[in-house]
Amino acid sequence: MSVKAIPVWDLWPGDVEWQPMSPKLRTVWVLRSLVNLLILAVLAAVPLAIWLGWEGLLWALGGYVLVAGLRALAVARTVATWGYAERQEDLLVRHGLLTRRLSIVPYGRIQLIDLSAGPIERMFGLTTVQVRTAALGSTTEVPGLDPAVAAALRDRLAVRAAEVREGL
């Protein structure tokens, strides 16, 4: 089995047909991020009010709004970097805004393919495909797919993995 080499400086090769995540993923991740920040803000409100007083709490609230807005912008931009591509011998998954990451999953190494969706993902009609390989603890995720697209990807990966194993 040979895997087409990707030069180290070309983490996101342009000769591949990248499939984007659903646009709804942006909303899900921004919502999740804002909920997490809101929980932290509520937990910090009483100590900040005692320590800084009400005026300080208002300044902290302004800081929270600024951080929440910047976080929402960063999360929205990060979602746009996600993509996956199916090549003849492997699955490519890319992501990363500041630090780019490219995962290459040879079909012959795939051992388990899971579909998962948390409550927020289900509310927006999204599913995550998790691909586990023979490497210990190695899991690659393809988040933010419509359930039908995720199921079709799972089925194609399972067929390709079985074909490669039969050929060994």
65 pLDDT higher than 50: yes
Domain hosting 25: range is 21-80
Is there a single domain that holds both residue 63 and residue 108?
A: no
Would 14 be classed as within a structural domain? no
Question: Exposure string (b/e) for 53-89, b if CB count within 10 Å is 16 or more?
Answer: eeeebeebeeebeeebeeebeebeebbebbbbbbbee
pLDDT tens column, 66-93: 988 898 899 889 999 999 999 999 999 9
Same domain, 108 and 66: no
Residue 11 domain-assigned (yes or no): no
**Which of 80, 114, 131 is at the close of a domain?**
80
For 95-111, write each residue's pLDDT tens digit: 998 888 999 999 999 99
Higher pLDDT, 52 or 119: 119
Whether the per-residue pLDDT at 112 is higher than 70: the answer is yes
Q: Give residues with Cβ within 8 angstroms of 13, minimum separation 6.
A: 6, 92
The confidence score (pLDDT) of residue 145 equals: 97
Number of domains in the chain: 2
Query: What pLDDT does residue 1 have?
Result: 43
The two three-digit tokens of residue 59, written as one number: 């300044």
27 found inside a domain = yes
Identify whether residues 33 and 61 lie together within a single domain: yes
Residues 6 or more apart in contact with residue 3 via CB below 8 angstroms: 89, 90, 104, 106
The answer to whether position 9 is within a domain reads: no
CB 52 within 8 A of CB 59: yes
**13 assigned to some structural domain:** no
- Does one domain contain both 135 and 151? yes
Mean pLDDT confidence for 124-143: 92
Query: pTM value?
Result: 0.80
Last residue of a domain, one of 35, 59, 80: 80
